[in-house]
Amino acid sequence: MAGGRSGSRCRCRWGTPLPLLAGRGLGLGFLLLLSLGPPAQSRSLRFVILLYRHGDRSPVKAYPKDPYQESQWPQGFGQLTKEGMLQQWELGQALRERYWGFLNASYHREEVYIRSTDCDRTLMSAEANLAGLFPVEGAQAFHPNITWQPIPVHTVPEAQDKQTHKLRLPPWASPQTMQRLRQLKDLSFRFLFGMYRPTEKARLQGGVLLAEIRKNLTWAASAAQHPKLLVYSAHDTTLVALQMALDVYNGEQAPYASCHMFELYQEDNGNFSVEMYFRNDSTEAPWPLALPGCSQSCPLPDFLRLTLPLVPEDWDRECQVTGSLADTEVIVALAVCGSILFLLILLLLTVLFRMQAQPPGYRHVADGEDHA
Higher pLDDT, 309 or 61: 309
CA 350 vs CA 336, 354, 355, 363: distances in Å: 21, 6, 9, 20
Reported as a single tens digit per residue, the pLDDT across 94-130 is 999 999 999 999 999 999 999 999 889 999 999 999 9
Reported as a single tens digit per residue, the pLDDT across 259-305 is 999 999 999 999 999 999 999 988 899 999 999 999 999 999 999 99
Instruction: Give pLDDT, residue 42.
Output: 83
Give the pLDDT mean for 49-59. 89
Instruction: Give pLDDT, residue 23.
Output: 45
312: confidence class by pLDDT, cuts 50, 70, 90? confident
Q: Which residues contact 182 (CB under 8 A, 6 or more apart)?
A: 253
Beta-sheet pairing, 229-234 with 154-155: unpaired
Question: What are the residue ranges of helices labelled H in the chain?
Answer: 4-8, 18-36, 82-98, 120-133, 175-193, 198-222, 236-246, 300-307, 315-318, 325-357, 367-370
**Most confidently modeled range among 185-194, 223-232, 331-340:** 223-232
Instruction: Give pLDDT, residue 97.
Output: 97
Instruction: Give pLDDT, residue 167.
Output: 42
Higher pLDDT, 77 or 131: 131
Judged on CB neighbours under 10 Å (0-12, 13-18, 19+), 149 is: middle
Instruction: Give pLDDT, residue 135.
Output: 92
Decide: 238 and 257 in contact? Cβ < 8 Å. Answer: no
What distance separates the 2 farthest-apart alpha carbons in the chain? 158
Angstrom distance (rounded) from CA 133 to CA 97: 9
44: confidence class by pLDDT, cuts 50, 70, 90? very high
Question: Residue 6 pLDDT > 70, yes or no?
Answer: no
Decide: 126 and 116 in contact? Cβ < 8 Å. Answer: yes
**Most confidently modeled range among 51-60, 243-252, 254-263:** 254-263
Q: Which helix (H) or strand (E) is 113 found in, with range?
A: strand 112-116
Helix (H/G/I), strand (E/B), else coil: 298: strand
Reported as a single tens digit per residue, the pLDDT across 76-94 is 667 898 999 999 999 999 9
Least confident of 105-109, 214-218, 348-352: 348-352
The percent of residues above 90 in pLDDT, for the chain, comes to 38
Instruction: Give pLDDT, residue 137.
Output: 80
Give the pLDDT mean for 37-42. 56
Instruction: Give pLDDT, residue 350.
Output: 80
Question: Residue 189 pLDDT > 90, yes or no?
Answer: no
Angstrom distance (rounded) from CA 314 to CA 167: 47
138: confidence class by pLDDT, cuts 50, 70, 90? confident
Instruction: Give pLDDT, residue 19.
Output: 37
Give the pLDDT mean for 325-339. 68
Whole-number average pLDDT of the chain: 75
Residues annotated as part of the active site: 54, 236
307: confidence class by pLDDT, cuts 50, 70, 90? very high
192: confidence class by pLDDT, cuts 50, 70, 90? low
Instruction: Give pLDDT, residue 371.
Output: 45
Higher pLDDT, 370 or 16: 370
Least confident of 49-53, 60-64, 82-86: 60-64
